[in-house]
Amino acid sequence: MTMLDAREATGRPTGASIGLFETTDATRTIADLVEEVGFLKNRTRIHVADSNGVHDSAQQLHSAALDQLLRTSASQKTRESLPDLLEGLSGLGFAWRDLGRVVGVSVPALRKWRQGESAAGDNRLRVARLAAFCDIVREQYLIDDPASWLETPIHVAAPTTGLDLVASDRFDLAFRLAGDDGADPETILDDFDPEWRERYATSVEVFVAADGQPALRIRKD
Amino acid sequence: MAQRKSPPYPNAPLVLTVLEIRYPELSDGIGRSAQHQMREALRKELPLVENVTEEQLELSIGAPLPAAVQRRTFPRFVTRDRTTAMVVKEEALVLETTSYGGWEESFRPLVALVVSAFAQATPPDGVLRVGLRYIDEIRVPGIDAVAGDWREYIDEHLLAAADPGFIPASLKPTVWQGLVQYRTASDSTLTVRYGPQDGHAVNPRGSTRRRNAPPPGPYFLLDSDSAWQASTDVPEFDVDHVLEICDSLHEPTREFFRIAVTDKLRDEIFSQDKGKSS
Residues A144-190 have pLDDT tens digits of: 899 999 999 988 888 899 999 999 999 988 988 887 555 678 888 88
Which of B56, B177, B207 faces A30 most closely, judged by CB atoms?
B207
Query: How does DSSP assign B202-247, residue by residue?
Result: B-TTSSSPPTTPPPSEEEEEEEEEEEEE--SS-----HHHHHHHHH
Which of B19, B132, B208 faces A1 most closely, judged by CB atoms?
B208
Q: Is the Cβ pair B206, A1 closer than 8 Å?
A: yes
Q: Is the Cβ pair A30, B96 closer than 8 Å?
A: yes
> In angstroms, rounded to a whole number, what is the distance separating the alpha carbons of residues B107 and A188?
66
Nearest CA distance, B196 vs chain A (angstrom): 10
Which of B54, B132, B146 faces A34 most closely, judged by CB atoms?
B54
- Whether the CB of B133 is below 8 Å from some CB of chain A: the reply is yes
CB B100 within 8 A of CB B106: yes
What ranges in chain A are assigned the alpha helix state H? Answer: 6-10, 30-77, 82-91, 96-103, 107-114, 121-140, 146-151, 162-167, 171-178, 185-192, 196-199
Q: Is the Cβ pair A28, B92 closer than 8 Å?
A: yes
Q: What is the mean pLDDT of residues A215-219?
A: 77
Residues 77..116 of B with a Cβ closer than 8 Å to A: which? 85, 87, 89, 92, 94, 96, 98
Check residue B2 and give its pLDDT: 41
Q: How far is CA B29 from the centre of its chain?
A: 25
- Whether the CB of B137 is below 8 Å from some CB of chain A: the reply is no
Of B133, B91, B155, B172, nearest in space to B253 by CA = B133
Check residue A208 and give its pLDDT: 78
Residue A12 pLDDT greater than 50, yes or no: yes
CB A99 within 8 A of CB A105: no
ipTM surpassing 0.95: no
Residues B106-164 have pLDDT tens digits of: 999 999 999 999 999 999 999 999 999 999 999 998 888 888 889 999 999 999 988 88
Report in angstroms the alpha-carbon separations of A176 from A51, A55, A71, A141, B78: 20, 14, 17, 11, 58
> In angstroms, rounded to a whole number, what is the distance separating the alpha carbons of residues B131 and B108?
13
Report in angstroms the alpha-carbon separations of B5 from A15, A64, B104: 47, 74, 7
Check residue B62 and give its pLDDT: 53
Of A6, A38, A31, nearest in space to B204 by CA = A31
| Arithmetic mean of pLDDT over chain A | 79
| Arithmetic mean of pLDDT over chain B | 86
DSSP code, position A140: H
Q: Which of A108-122, A193-207, B84-98 has the highest mean pLDDT?
A: B84-98
Q: Which residues pair with B54 in a beta bridge?
A: B72
Residues A65-110 have pLDDT tens digits of: 888 889 888 988 888 899 999 999 999 999 999 999 999 999 999 9
CB B18 within 8 A of CB B95: yes
pTM of the model: 0.60
Of B121, B127, B146, B165, nearest in space to B19 by CA = B127
Residues B165-175 have pLDDT tens digits of: 888 989 888 88
How would you classify the pairing of strands A153-155 and A158-161?
A: antiparallel
Q: What is the mean pLDDT of residues B51-66?
A: 62
> In angstroms, rounded to a whole number, what is the distance separating the alpha carbons of residues A141 and B132?
64
> In angstroms, rounded to a whole number, what is the distance separating the alpha carbons of residues A13 and A2?
21
Residues B183-222 have pLDDT tens digits of: 999 999 999 999 999 888 888 888 888 888 888 889 999 9
- Whether the CB of B181 is below 8 Å from some CB of chain A: the reply is yes
